[in-house]
Chain A
Amino acid sequence: MDKEIILLVEDNQDDVLLTKRAFKKSNILNELVVANDGVEALDYLFGTGTYDGRDLSIMPILILLDLRLPKLDGIDVLRRIRTDERTKLIPVVVLTTSKEQKDLIESYSLGANSYIRKPVDFDQFVQAVRQLGLYWVLLNEPPPVIRRD
């Protein structure tokens, strides 16, 4: 079983479903861990809350982060990821509906590796996810702290 995990932080279950479908359509078969809000995302990453005791030696090779999230929004999640030694090198791709300049600037300022606006048209979305997976999962060399068994 491939242990390379992609963490999808997304509150909208339709989007989760469509994203999974797009991954499948694009033949990206990595394990997809879904966090439905910002807090859950951090719990998973740092082994807290519902993820208490999780084996932190296993870290996702990619985080897909929505910005509009309940409890703790995406920008704050990104900031936490980038300020923590354990997670600061993990590639983060902002995957969101917003095209606001403010969001773009904040995301890149905080160290987002990429910023993708979700297209409404599903065909285009599949296209985007395919390229995203191709690049970040297959082509990109992950930083050394992330174990790739």
Chain B
Amino acid sequence: MTGKNPDITDFKQLENMLIENEKRYRSLFEESRDAVFFTTREGKVVDANKAAIDLFGITEEDLPNLNAIELYENPADRLKFQQEIEETGAVRDYEVRMRRKDGTGIDCLQTTTIWRANDGSILGYQGIIRDITAHKKADKALQESEKRYRNLYEESKDPIYSITRDGKFIDVNQALLDFAGVSRDEIMKTNVLEFYVNPDDRVRFQQEIERNGAVRDFEVQFREKDGTVHDALLTSTLWRANDGSIMGYQGIIHDVTEQKKLENALKESEEKLRAILAGIKDLITIQNKDLDIIWINQSIRDLWGDVIGKKCYEVYKGLSKPCSDCYIEEIFNEGKTVVIERSDVLPDGKKIDLLITSSPIRDSVGNIVAIVELEKDITARRNLEKQLKDYGENLETLVDERTLELRDSEERYRGLYDSSIDGIASATMDGNIIECNQAFADMFGYSKNEIKIMNYLDFIPGKWRDIVARIISEQILPRGFSDVLEIEGIKQEGIIFPASARIWVIKDEDGRPARMWILVRDITERKKLEGKLKSYTEKLKRLDEERAEELRRKTVELEVLNKELEAFSYAVSHDLRAPLRSINGFSKALLDDYIDVLDAEGRDYLQRVRKATKRMAEIIDELLALSRVTRTEMHREKVDLSNMVHEVLTELQESQPERQVEFIVAPGLVADGDARLLSLVFDNLLGNAWKFTGNKSNAQIEFGVTWKGIDRVFFVRDNGAGFNMEYVNKLFGAFQRLHSPEEFPGVGVGLATVKRIINRHGGRVWAEGEVDKGATFYFTL
């Protein structure tokens, strides 16, 4: 500061003192780190120190032309300052915003006093300006920081506290009040121990924090005012006084109640998940990006064993490198879920169809870390689907076939309708004709078009209309169709003709009659024929009756005849025999009583008479037998022929025990026939064989069977006298004999009897023979 003190009293001394002062102040002025100014009241800068020049970014040369007002950012501030200083004489620590030469603003603090002349007049102002920009900035930052921390403190969701060593709260934030469930006033009166569920925790906490200076995540349980218990983690530091002594603790309570709950829930959820996974029969496998199997469920374990850590393609596919169609990389890249179906062979050789769902597994930040594959056995479903498909295809085929059939059917019926020789027409339920076929039109003599505007009653003669109406209400409406009606029709030209008709109705979807169909046939010809037939039938019937009458008459005649024949036979048997007995008896009487009067010749004659009577008696018996064969009724039954032959042969052998005859009888021959008559056949045939082998030493009689085409032929063979085939035709005639009674006894009706019996059985009998070689008699039944 350059100043001249004009008041000089002790000039020299004063001058020296002044010089000394001047020096001191000059130095102070020059060296001051604060800017020092001397200005006129108008603002002209009188002097300024180096600090001032630096502060405002000006030069020494600028000073003479510089007005102080230019250094204020807001010039009004200088006026305000000037006013205040002139009123009070000084301004202290006036904070003002000033401006450097380059225009940048600076915060300044001015302390200015009035600069007066010795006479007390105001020369100007002298002031010190301090740049407080940096200070102000720091202060502002501090304020902001303070505010920020205060905010943080107040807004923190975590409870924050300061507390004395003996548990008295100094400061708490809102979160803590919420946490403790009390008001700010209340908590200030409450000791922290009251919040501890277990007060020992407070002791442990104090020991730990005072030993280590801090605790981190100290686990405690606090009880809220309403009794709710919180799990909490304490993080706390020591609060020391300036002298280093421990005043208390400050810290944050981390309420982990929810977290604990979550943890428990998570644990539970995990357990559940584990149980669910264990219960799933589907195959579940998790692979990482390198295709290592990192987790499997029990189903996989059961099949492949513990395969964790192995490559999926090695285990599941038996390959040495990844499958060609591996999609795991795709999932890793695109994060999508892939669903495929595939057939696989399990380690146990079972072939199965799988539905495989492969999904990405992400970590907490969303990066894909693995792939989970859920493989569902859908073999059964596949089979079902296949069956379903087969059914579907089958059904389609059926439908196609059915459609074809229907088309065929439609064509067939259309053809039938068009070509039918019966008239067919359809009509509304009122009887108005809708359409008809050609036969219908022809039958009534109209064109098809004419008929379309007619009513069915137009085709029926008047006398039939009521009847038809009645039939419609009594037959057609209740049951849908009529009987075949024999009525009459009327042609266009008025000709009435007999017709047979049937009417039926077609119902609509609701079951109401919608349409009638009428089928008509012209039965004129039939009626004519029926008339003829009737007369023929009657004629025939008459003829039949006549014939029946004749038959009855004949039958009666026959019965009479038969009776007569029987009577005749009876008479013959009695009346022919009686005289023979007389002849024989009295011849014997003659021989007995008159032996003396008879010569040898006479006796011989009488013997011949007697012999003749006996033969006559035999003939009569045979004749009767023969007639009996013809007359007796047949009783057919199963007959054991072999057995029957045995019996007859046994009888024959007994009648002549001395004879040696070989019997050959085929066993088990059975036939249908009348046992009594067949027995007679064998009596005769075997009797003959026995008789005609009488002269043989190696006699042989055989009964057997042979086949002629489909006919079973029985035979009786002997190796006896045989016969000449020339006379074979005479064999079976009555009383035909090929040998004399002297040669072989017999009357010649045996074979005639055989023939009659066989014929009555519907069979044939024939013979082969050779003289002295034997004979064979064949018969069928």
Contact = CB atoms under 8 A, between A and B. Distances in A.
A18 B590 CA distance: 12
Interface in A1-59: 12, 14-15, 17-18, 21
B578 A97 contact: yes
A120 B619 CA distance: 12
Given A97-B578, A120-B614, A120-B617, A14 B585 contact: yes
Given A14-B581, A121-B584, A98 B570 contact: yes
B584 A120 contact: yes
A125 B581 contact: yes
A97 B573 contact: yes
A8 B624 CA distance: 27
A100 interface: yes
Interface residues of A, number: 19
Given A98-B570, A121-B610, A15 B588 contact: no
Contact of A99 (B573, B586, B587, B613): B573
A49 to B, nearest CB: 26
Contacts of B183: none
A146 B613 CA distance: 40
A121 B574 contact: no
A14 B621 contact: no
B188 to A, nearest CB: 150
B680 to A, nearest CB: 14
A109 B223 CA distance: 134
B230 to A, nearest CB: 132
B582 interface: yes
A140 to B, nearest CB: 26
Interface in B574-616: 574-575, 577-582, 584-589, 610, 613-614, 616
Given A14-B586, A18-B585, A125-B585, A120 B577 contact: yes
A97 B613 contact: no
A135 interface: no
- If over half of B's interface residues share one DSSP class (helix, strand or loop), that class is named, otherwise mixed; here it is helix
A84 interface: no
Given A14-B586, A21-B589, A120 B581 contact: yes
A97 B621 CA distance: 11
Nearest to B621: A99
B574 A15 contact: no
Interface centre among B578, B580, B621, B624 (most CB of A within 10 A): B578
Interface string A89-105: 00000001111100000
A119 B624 CA distance: 16
A9 B386 CA distance: 107
B588 A123 contact: yes
Interface string A57-100: 00000000000100000000000000000000000000011111
- With most chain A CB atoms within 10 A of its CB, the pick from B581, B582, B587 is B581
A98 B585 contact: no
A88 B610 CA distance: 39
A21 B578 contact: no
Contacts of B586: 14, 18
A21 B585 contact: yes
Contacts of A97: 573-574, 577-578, 581
Contacts of A15: 578, 581-582
Contacts of B573: 97-100
B255 to A, nearest CB: 134
Interface residues of B, number: 24
Interface string B558-580: 00000000000110011101111
A21 B587 CA distance: 13
A120 B584 CA distance: 7
B570 A122 contact: no
B570 A18 contact: no
Contacts of B577: 97, 118, 120
Contacts of B570: 98, 100
A12 B574 CA distance: 11
Contact of B588 (A14, A96, A100, A122): A122
Given A99-B621, A120-B614, A120-B617, A14 B574 contact: no
Contacts of A99: 573, 621, 624
Contacts of A18: 581-582, 585-586, 589
Tell me which of A17, A18, A96 has the highest count of chain B C-beta atoms within 10 A of its own C-beta: A18
A121 B613 contact: yes
Contacts of B613: 120-121
Nearest to B588: A122
A32 B579 CA distance: 23
Contacts of B587: 122
A85 B617 CA distance: 40
B584 A98 contact: no
A14 B569 CA distance: 22
B614 A121 contact: yes
B627 to A, nearest CB: 11
Interface in B388-418: none
A122 B581 CA distance: 7
Contacts of B617: 120-121
Contacts of A14: 578-579, 581-582, 585-586
Nearest to A11: B578
A17 B514 CA distance: 109
Contacts of B610: 121-122
Given A98-B570, A100-B573, A122 B578 contact: no
A98 B566 CA distance: 12
A33 to B, nearest CB: 21
Task: Kindly name the residue among B580, B582, B610 whose own CB sees the greatest number of chain A CB atoms within 10 A.
Answer: B582
Contacts of A21: 585, 589
Interface string A101-143: 0000000000000000011111101000000000000000000
Nearest to A120: B617
Given A68-B574, A98-B573, A100-B573, A118 B581 contact: yes
A12 B586 CA distance: 14
A17 B621 CA distance: 24
A84 to B, nearest CB: 27
Contacts of B585: 14, 17-18, 21, 122, 125
A74 to B, nearest CB: 11
A97 B574 CA distance: 5
Contacts of B569: 100
A98 B621 CA distance: 10
Interface in B679-712: none
A96 to B, nearest CB: 8
A121 B569 CA distance: 21
A108 to B, nearest CB: 18
A105 B579 CA distance: 26
Contacts of A68: 574-575
Contacts of B584: 120-122
B588 A120 contact: no
A18 B610 CA distance: 15
A114 to B, nearest CB: 19
Q: What 4 A-B pairs come out closest when comparing CB atoms?
A: A120-B617, A14-B582, A18-B585, A122-B588
23 contacts: A12-B578, A14-B578, A14-B579, A14-B586, A15-B582, A18-B582, A18-B586, A68-B574, A96-B574, A97-B573, A97-B577, A97-B578, A98-B570, A98-B573, A118-B577, A120-B581, A121-B584, A121-B613, A121-B617, A122-B584, A122-B585, A122-B588, A125-B585
Given A14-B578, A99-B624, A120-B616, 12 more contacts: A14-B581, A15-B578, A18-B581, A18-B586, A21-B589, A68-B574, A98-B574, A99-B621, A120-B581, A122-B581, A122-B587, A125-B581
Interface of A: 12, 14-15, 17-18, 21, 68, 96-100, 118-123, 125
Interface of B: 569-570, 573-575, 577-582, 584-589, 610, 613-614, 616-617, 621, 624
